[in-house]
Amino acid sequence: MNGEKNEAAGEATLEDGEFLRQVGDHIRDLRAQRGMTRKILARDSGVSERYLAQLESGQGNISIVRLRDVAQAMGMPLQDVISVGPEQPPELTLLIQYLHRLSPAKLAEARELLLSTFESKSRRDRIALIGLRGAGKTTLGTMLAQHLGIPFVELAREIETEAGMTLSEIFSLYGQAAYRRYERRAMKSVQEKYERFVLSPGGSIVSEPATFDELLTACYTIWIKASPEEHMARVVAQGDHRPMIDNQEAMKDLERILSRREAMYVKADAVVDTSGQSIDDSFAALLAVVPK
């Protein structure tokens, strides 16, 4: 019957097993993008690690397939069926449909056009350094702020102020969803507090499209880039030896996280690669891309 319905709708669909496999791959990629282990995801979601392992291997609950059937029966994309929230304006619906028809190159061009048209006049006075821990954001950000005579702001500290507790307490008590809410509030608070600043957000901010888009819109953004090996070495040099407990597995996780996030990191206005560079050379490279 399902095959007859799909054929009548004129829409080719995946077999159940392949659909579940792709869902599992996507969930694993999203988890890597957020830098979450399966244990953390299990804790925050209330779903057992065993079930998450089954889901990521393509053996998830069959109700996902049934939900897909409901979506197809209504002639709607699955993401629209599970999406909740206020109904979006008709103009946004039409704009999204139009953008869906553009090639990747045209999409990039459209985004640049929108940013240049609606760009805040203060955007180039607000510099954000993005990248993973160990890239050099804090060191270079502090130097840049001193050079420009403006505040250096670590978003992590602003989040703790906003929440009234440490980051570890936020995660252990309320989970990653709460952290993301505080992260966005802290972003708004920083913009209200300072006219000019150098900001260092957490490396995972690119995992939240809405917050990252706000960052790109509000700040001149520079990706402080480094190789996985240098990220690892610098974190250990800072006194955190946890990655060395299982170095091989930790390096694989780091490489996967960088790979998944790179597509978002490259959306920055500029890139500074600190791999193999001294602090002075990296700072000179940073100064070269800072808006004059």
d(CA 24, CA 81): 19
Q: Please indicate, yes or no, whether residues 137 and 73 belong to a single structural domain of this protein.
A: no
| 19 occurs within a structural domain | yes
Same domain, residue pair 43 and 172: no
> Looking at the structure, do residues 154 and 45 belong to the same domain, yes or no?
no
Asked if residue 31 and residue 130 are part of one domain, the reply reads no
Total-model pTM: 0.68
Task: Give me the pLDDT at residue 86, please.
Answer: 65
Has residue 236 been placed in a domain? Answer: yes
Residue 96 located in a structural domain: no
Range of the domain at 214: 109-289
Do 201 and 69 belong to one domain? Answer: no
Tally the domains of the chain.
2
Output the domain CATH number for residue 73.
1.10.260.40
In the chain, DSSP finds a helix count (H) and a strand count (E) of 16, 5
Does one domain contain both 114 and 240?
Answer: yes
Q: Same domain for 137 and 277? A: yes
Q: What is the pLDDT of residue 11?
A: 39
In a domain, 117, yes or no: yes
DSSP letter for each residue of 3-64: HHHHHHTT-----HHHHHHHHHHHHHHHHHHTT--HHHHHHHH---HHHHHHHHTT---THH
Tens-digit pLDDT string for the chain (292 aa): 343 334 333 334 567 777 778 777 877 777 787 787 888 888 877 778 888 788 788 887 655 665 567 666 656 576 765 554 566 788 887 888 888 899 988 998 888 888 778 777 788 899 999 998 888 899 999 999 999 999 999 999 999 999 999 999 998 998 888 899 999 999 999 999 999 999 999 988 998 888 999 999 999 999 999 888 887 777 777 666 554 445 667 778 888 888 888 889 999 999 999 988 999 999 999 999 999 8
CB atoms within 10 A of CB 99: 12
Of 83, 99, 133, the last residue of a domain is: 83
| Residue 94 is assigned to a structural domain of this protein | no
pLDDT at residue number 85: 55
Q: Are residues 135 and 271 in the same domain?
A: yes
Q: What is the pLDDT of residues 266-276, one digit of tens each?
A: 999 999 999 88
Do both 119 and 250 map to the same domain? yes
Residue 41 within any structural domain of the chain: yes
Residue carrying the six token digits 């039409």: 94
Q: Is residue 227 part of a domain?
A: yes
Q: For residues 277 and 227, state if they share a domain.
A: yes
C-alpha to C-alpha distance for 286 and 90, rounded to whole angstroms? 42
Give domain status of residue 99, yes or no: no
What is the model's pLDDT at position 6?
A: 40
Same-domain status, 116 and 209: yes
Counted residue by residue, the chain has a size of 292
Q: Are residues 123 and 265 in the same domain?
A: yes
- Identify the CATH number of the domain in which residue 251 sits: 3.40.50.300
Confidence (pLDDT) at 177? 85
